[in-house]
């Protein structure tokens, strides 16, 4: 499959993952921004490989092979990234009494791979596998800042935001990011990247909670704690 066709096929799969009810081919083509004739051709190829299926009413749904691939991806992530991070995340959440989140890029979004919530009655709740725009919140922005240049350029082009690029460069220069009220109203988040030995992005580690409580605890101390925890996970990975 040519590169352009592959990108469009991935867009179709991504749109199917976002749709709450199975769309028709015409609806899917419109939402993915591809010609209907192209959608028919690509979907036939994807169906041949078990990645999509046609329902009796003519709508399109993700195929069972996606489930198999997802289970394999989940097991692999747990083995090499999530399991080494859990103990560090639990310690960080216990010491600072706030929610700790491990995130990774998912297209142009951030996805939560693992969450450790504090036991405090008032806390930030963040569901595992929750997806959010990569340009909002500390847990997303820290990923955007450390994307490889082609992926970062793709994100900026999709947003058509001329100010975000400079903000992401500042995050890279500092090595962390603090945001408030961007993803969850009344919440502040602090995030640092997890990098491999070559400096390439693995994931993001963030701590988040009610803004008033986070500020009272001291943001500088939390920044240091998150960066230390990120380094500990990097060493374990």
Which residues have C-beta within 8 Å of that of residue 184, sequence separation ≥ 6?
Answer: 124, 137, 208
Q: Do 157 and 111 touch, CB atoms closer than 8 A?
A: no
CA dihedral 196, 4, 50, 17 (to 10 degrees): 70
Nearest to 171 by CA among 143, 152, 136: 143
**Which parts of the chain have pLDDT scores under 70?**
1-3, 19
For 177-205, the DSSP string reads: EEEESSSSTTEEEEEEEEE-TTS-EEEEE
d(CA 1, CA 193): 34
Its pTM stands at 0.86
Rounded to whole angstroms, the Cα distance separating 117 from 189 reads: 13
* Residue 88, phi then psi, degrees to nearest 5: -65, -40
For residue 186, give Cα distances in angstroms to 18, 130, 132, 147, 206.
27, 19, 17, 28, 16
Which domains does the chain possess? 3-62 (1.10.10.10), 70-236 (3.30.450.40)
Distance CA 215, CA 67 (A): 42
* Res 33: pLDDT: 85
Q: What is the pLDDT, as a whole number, of residue 44?
A: 93
Q: Provide CB contacts within 8 A for 149, sequence distance 6+.
A: none
Question: Residue 19's pLDDT is what?
Answer: 61
Backbone phi and psi for residue 175, each to the nearest 5 degrees, phi listed first: 90, 10
């Amino acid at each position: 499959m040519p590169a352009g066709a592959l990108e469009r096929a991935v867009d179709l799969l991504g749109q199917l993952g976002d749709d709450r009810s199975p769309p028709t081919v015409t609806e899917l083509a419109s939402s993915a921004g591809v010609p209907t004739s192209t959608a028919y051709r690509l979907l036939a190829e994807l169906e041949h490989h078990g990645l999509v299926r046609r329902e009796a009413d003519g709508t399109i749904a993700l195929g069972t092979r996606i489930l198999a691939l997802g289970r394999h991806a989940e097991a692999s992530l747990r083995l090499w990234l999530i399991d080494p991070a859990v103990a560090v995340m639990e310690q960080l959440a216990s010491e600072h009494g706030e929610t700790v989140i491990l995130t990774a890029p998912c297209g142009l979004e951030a996805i939560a791979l693992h969450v450790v919530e504090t036991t405090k009655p008032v806390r930030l709740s963040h569901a595992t596998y929750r997806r959010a725009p990569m340009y909002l919140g500390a847990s997303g922005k820290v990923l955007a800042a450390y994307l490889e240049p082609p992926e970062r350029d793709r994100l900026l082009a999709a947003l058509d935001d001329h100010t975000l690029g400079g903000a992401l460069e500042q995050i890279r220069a500092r090595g962390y990011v603090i945001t408030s009220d961007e993803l969850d109203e009344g919440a502040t988040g602090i995030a640092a990247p997890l990098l491999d030995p070559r400096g390439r992005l693995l994931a993001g580690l963030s701590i988040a909670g009610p803004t008033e409580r986070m500020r009272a605890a001291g943001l500088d101390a939390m920044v240091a704690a998150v960066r230390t925890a990120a380094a500990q996970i990097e060493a374990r990975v």
